[in-house]
Amino acid sequence: MARVEMFEFGVEQEQMMQVLMRHCQTMKRQETRLRLATAVLLATFMATLLWLHFHQQTTKGAFSGAHSEALKPEGPPIRHSLYLEAGKQFGACSEELPIKWNIINDGNDSPNFKLENQTVLHVFTKGLYLINLRISYRVVYNQCKPHSDPEFLTLEVSVSQKHSNYEKEREVISGKESMLCRDYWLQSITLNRVIMLEADTSLWVKLNKKSCKFLNWVKNSHLEVTYL
- Per residue in 38-68, pLDDT (tens digit) is 666 666 777 777 777 766 666 555 545 545 4
Domain limit, last residue, from 52, 72, 92: 72
Specify the pLDDT at position 72. 47
Residues 46 and 103 in one domain: no
Residue 4 dihedral angles phi and psi, to the nearest 5°: -65, -45
Claim to verify: residue 91 and residue 68 sit in the same structural domain? no
Q: According to the model, what pLDDT value does residue 78 have?
A: 58
User: Which residues constitute the domain of residue 54?
Assistant: 1-72
Q: Residues in the chain with pLDDT < 50?
A: 4, 63, 66, 68-72, 76-77
Question: What is the C-alpha to C-alpha distance for residues 61 and 175, in angstroms, rounded to an integer?
Answer: 55
How far apart are alpha carbons 100 and 91 in whole angstroms?
Answer: 11
Name the domain boundary from 72, 95, 128: 72
The pLDDT of residue 88 is 84
- Domains: count for the chain: 2
Question: What CA–CA distances, in Å, run from 55 to 61, 81, 156, 200, 201?
Answer: 10, 46, 67, 52, 53
Based on the fold, state whether residues 55 and 148 are members of the same structural domain: no
Same domain, 86 and 46: no
- pLDDT computed for residue 23 by the predictor: 58
Q: What is the CATH number of the domain that holds 84?
A: 2.60.120.40
Do residues 90 and 124 both lie within one domain?
yes
- Pick the last residue of a domain from 72, 100, 125: 72
- Residue 68: its pLDDT value, please? 46
What is the pTM assigned to this prediction? 0.63
- What's the pLDDT at 209? 87
